[in-house]
Amino acid sequence: MKTPKFQLQRILPFAKQVLSSLLEEGDTAVDATMGNGHDTEFLAKAVGRTGLVYAFDIQQAALEATRNRLGPLVSRTELILGSHANMAERVPAGVTAVMFNLGFLPSAEEAFVITTGETTIPAIRAALSLLKPGGIISIAVYDGHPGGAAERDAVLGFVQQLDAKDYQVIRYGTMNSLSSPPFLLLIEKSSW
Protein backbone atom coordinates (compact mmCIF):
# COMPACT_ATOMS: atom_id res chain seq x y z
CA MET A 1 0.00 0.00 0.00
CA LYS A 2 1.24 3.50 -0.84
CA THR A 3 2.26 5.60 2.19
CA PRO A 4 -0.01 8.66 2.36
CA LYS A 5 1.62 12.00 1.55
CA PHE A 6 0.55 13.33 4.96
CA GLN A 7 -0.44 11.59 8.18
CA LEU A 8 -1.85 12.99 11.42
CA GLN A 9 0.62 12.60 14.26
CA ARG A 10 0.45 11.63 17.87
CA ILE A 11 0.90 14.48 20.32
CA LEU A 12 4.63 14.21 21.06
CA PRO A 13 5.82 13.96 17.44
CA PHE A 14 3.46 16.82 16.64
CA ALA A 15 4.93 18.96 19.42
CA LYS A 16 8.43 18.22 18.14
CA GLN A 17 7.46 19.06 14.57
CA VAL A 18 6.13 22.45 15.69
CA LEU A 19 9.14 23.25 17.86
CA SER A 20 11.72 22.08 15.34
CA SER A 21 10.13 24.43 12.79
CA LEU A 22 10.55 27.27 15.28
CA LEU A 23 13.94 26.64 16.90
CA GLU A 24 17.15 27.90 15.32
CA GLU A 25 20.86 27.57 15.94
CA GLY A 26 21.84 29.58 19.00
CA ASP A 27 18.40 29.64 20.62
CA THR A 28 17.64 29.04 24.29
CA ALA A 29 15.04 26.40 25.21
CA VAL A 30 13.74 24.83 28.41
CA ASP A 31 12.72 21.26 29.21
CA ALA A 32 10.54 21.77 32.31
CA THR A 33 10.16 18.03 32.97
CA MET A 34 13.42 16.28 32.09
CA GLY A 35 12.46 12.69 32.97
CA ASN A 36 14.51 10.27 30.87
CA GLY A 37 15.78 13.12 28.70
CA HIS A 38 14.04 12.45 25.40
CA ASP A 39 12.84 16.04 25.11
CA THR A 40 16.11 17.48 26.40
CA GLU A 41 17.94 15.55 23.67
CA PHE A 42 15.50 16.76 21.02
CA LEU A 43 15.90 20.38 22.17
CA ALA A 44 19.71 20.12 22.40
CA LYS A 45 19.84 19.03 18.75
CA ALA A 46 17.38 21.74 17.70
CA VAL A 47 19.32 24.65 19.27
CA GLY A 48 22.59 23.57 17.68
CA ARG A 49 26.17 23.91 18.93
CA THR A 50 25.73 27.51 20.05
CA GLY A 51 22.36 27.13 21.75
CA LEU A 52 21.52 26.20 25.33
CA VAL A 53 18.84 24.01 26.93
CA TYR A 54 17.91 24.37 30.61
CA ALA A 55 16.33 21.15 31.88
CA PHE A 56 14.61 20.66 35.25
CA ASP A 57 13.58 17.67 37.32
CA ILE A 58 13.16 17.02 41.04
CA GLN A 59 14.46 13.43 40.78
CA GLN A 60 18.18 12.67 40.77
CA ALA A 61 17.41 9.55 38.70
CA ALA A 62 16.09 11.80 35.93
CA LEU A 63 19.32 13.80 35.78
CA GLU A 64 21.38 10.62 35.58
CA ALA A 65 19.20 9.09 32.87
CA THR A 66 19.32 12.33 30.89
CA ARG A 67 23.09 12.74 31.22
CA ASN A 68 23.55 9.18 29.95
CA ARG A 69 21.21 9.77 27.03
CA LEU A 70 22.84 13.05 26.00
CA GLY A 71 26.44 11.92 25.71
CA PRO A 72 28.44 14.80 24.13
CA LEU A 73 25.24 16.84 23.67
CA VAL A 74 25.36 17.50 27.43
CA SER A 75 27.62 20.48 26.64
CA ARG A 76 24.58 22.24 25.16
CA THR A 77 22.56 21.79 28.35
CA GLU A 78 22.30 22.84 31.95
CA LEU A 79 20.71 19.98 33.93
CA ILE A 80 19.10 21.34 37.08
CA LEU A 81 17.96 19.28 40.07
CA GLY A 82 15.06 21.43 41.23
CA SER A 83 11.47 22.37 40.63
CA HIS A 84 10.38 23.97 37.38
CA ALA A 85 8.36 26.37 39.58
CA ASN A 86 11.67 28.18 40.24
CA MET A 87 12.58 28.38 36.56
CA ALA A 88 12.80 32.16 36.50
CA GLU A 89 15.64 32.07 39.09
CA ARG A 90 17.81 29.99 36.75
CA VAL A 91 16.82 30.89 33.19
CA PRO A 92 17.38 34.30 31.56
CA ALA A 93 14.51 35.87 29.60
CA GLY A 94 14.41 35.46 25.83
CA VAL A 95 13.56 31.76 25.59
CA THR A 96 12.26 30.43 22.24
CA ALA A 97 10.57 27.20 23.41
CA VAL A 98 9.57 25.48 26.65
CA MET A 99 8.43 21.84 26.79
CA PHE A 100 6.33 20.31 29.55
CA ASN A 101 5.60 16.58 29.55
CA LEU A 102 3.34 16.17 32.57
CA GLY A 103 2.66 13.04 34.59
CA PHE A 104 5.27 10.64 35.97
CA LEU A 105 8.59 9.11 34.99
CA PRO A 106 7.60 5.65 33.64
CA SER A 107 10.80 3.85 34.65
CA ALA A 108 11.27 5.46 38.08
CA GLU A 109 12.18 3.06 40.85
CA GLU A 110 11.34 5.61 43.54
CA ALA A 111 7.84 6.34 44.75
CA PHE A 112 5.37 7.59 42.22
CA VAL A 113 6.48 11.21 41.60
CA ILE A 114 3.94 13.11 39.54
CA THR A 115 3.70 16.68 38.36
CA THR A 116 0.94 18.61 40.11
CA GLY A 117 -0.90 21.87 39.55
CA GLU A 118 0.77 23.36 42.66
CA THR A 119 4.07 23.63 40.78
CA THR A 120 2.96 23.24 37.16
CA ILE A 121 0.89 26.44 37.18
CA PRO A 122 3.68 28.63 38.68
CA ALA A 123 6.06 27.00 36.19
CA ILE A 124 3.83 27.80 33.20
CA ARG A 125 3.47 31.36 34.51
CA ALA A 126 7.28 31.65 34.79
CA ALA A 127 7.73 30.15 31.32
CA LEU A 128 5.34 32.71 29.84
CA SER A 129 7.37 35.53 31.39
CA LEU A 130 10.64 34.13 29.99
CA LEU A 131 9.33 33.47 26.49
CA LYS A 132 10.38 35.85 23.72
CA PRO A 133 7.71 37.20 21.34
CA GLY A 134 6.78 34.42 18.91
CA GLY A 135 8.04 31.78 21.34
CA ILE A 136 6.00 28.64 22.06
CA ILE A 137 5.30 26.51 25.14
CA SER A 138 4.18 22.92 24.55
CA ILE A 139 2.40 21.02 27.33
CA ALA A 140 1.62 17.31 26.99
CA VAL A 141 -1.20 16.59 29.45
CA TYR A 142 -1.88 13.06 30.79
CA ASP A 143 -4.90 12.66 33.03
CA GLY A 144 -5.34 8.88 33.34
CA HIS A 145 -3.27 8.40 36.53
CA PRO A 146 -4.27 9.29 40.11
CA GLY A 147 -3.91 13.06 40.47
CA GLY A 148 -3.89 13.57 36.70
CA ALA A 149 -7.43 14.92 36.43
CA ALA A 150 -6.85 17.60 39.09
CA GLU A 151 -3.71 18.80 37.31
CA ARG A 152 -5.50 18.74 33.92
CA ASP A 153 -8.31 20.93 35.28
CA ALA A 154 -5.85 23.36 36.86
CA VAL A 155 -3.85 23.66 33.63
CA LEU A 156 -6.94 24.06 31.43
CA GLY A 157 -8.38 26.66 33.82
CA PHE A 158 -5.12 28.60 33.72
CA VAL A 159 -4.55 28.59 29.95
CA GLN A 160 -8.19 29.39 29.15
CA GLN A 161 -7.97 32.72 30.95
CA LEU A 162 -4.83 33.90 29.16
CA ASP A 163 -5.51 37.13 27.28
CA ALA A 164 -6.02 36.33 23.58
CA LYS A 165 -4.27 39.61 22.70
CA ASP A 166 -1.07 38.29 24.22
CA TYR A 167 -1.25 34.51 23.66
CA GLN A 168 -2.73 32.05 21.22
CA VAL A 169 -3.65 28.75 22.92
CA ILE A 170 -4.22 25.62 20.79
CA ARG A 171 -5.41 22.18 21.94
CA TYR A 172 -4.56 19.06 19.90
CA GLY A 173 -5.50 15.46 20.67
CA THR A 174 -7.48 12.33 19.87
CA MET A 175 -11.24 12.65 20.48
CA ASN A 176 -12.46 9.09 19.74
CA SER A 177 -10.50 7.02 22.25
CA LEU A 178 -12.28 5.23 25.11
CA SER A 179 -9.71 5.74 27.89
CA SER A 180 -8.30 9.16 28.85
CA PRO A 181 -6.17 10.05 25.82
CA PRO A 182 -3.35 12.52 26.43
CA PHE A 183 -3.57 15.88 24.69
CA LEU A 184 -1.26 18.69 23.75
CA LEU A 185 -1.53 22.39 24.54
CA LEU A 186 0.51 24.89 22.54
CA ILE A 187 0.81 28.47 23.78
CA GLU A 188 2.30 31.02 21.41
CA LYS A 189 3.33 34.44 22.69
CA SER A 190 2.20 37.21 20.38
CA SER A 191 4.96 38.71 18.30
CA TRP A 192 3.39 42.16 17.98
Ligand X SMILES: C[S@@+](CC[C@H](N)C(=O)[O-])C[C@H]1O[C@@H](n2cnc3c(N)ncnc32)[C@H](O)[C@@H]1O
Which residues contact ligand X (rule: CB under 6 A)? 33, 35-39, 56-59, 62, 83-85, 101, 103-105, 113, 115, 119
Q: Which is nearer to ligand X, 35 or 51 (CB)?
A: 35
Q: Which is nearer to ligand X, 70 or 131 (CB)?
A: 70
CB of 2: closest distance to ligand X in angstroms? 33
Do 34 and 67 touch, CB atoms closer than 8 A?
no
What does the alpha-carbon distance between residue 190 and residue 183 come to, in Å, rounded to a whole number?
A: 23
90-130-13-113 Cα dihedral, nearest 10 degrees = 50
Of 135, 144, 147, 150, the C-alpha closest to 186 is: 135
Q: Is the dihedral of CA 20, 4, 141, 154 positive or negative?
A: positive
Name the residue with the smallest CB distance to ligand X: 35
Q: Which is nearer to ligand X, 59 or 180 (CB)?
A: 59
CB of 9: closest distance to ligand X in angstroms? 17
Q: Which is nearer to ligand X, 4 or 146 (CB)?
A: 146
- C-alpha distances in Å from residue 135, one per residue of 20, 29, 73, 187: 12, 10, 23, 8
CB of 63: closest distance to ligand X in angstroms? 10
CB of 17: closest distance to ligand X in angstroms? 16
CB of 22: closest distance to ligand X in angstroms? 18
CB of 30: closest distance to ligand X in angstroms? 11
Q: Which is nearer to ligand X, 99 or 187 (CB)?
A: 99
What does the alpha-carbon distance between residue 167 and residue 183 come to, in Å, rounded to a whole number?
A: 19
The per-residue DSSP string of 101-125 comes to: E-SB-TT--SS--B--HHHHHHHHH
Q: Which is nearer to ligand X, 57 or 188 (CB)?
A: 57
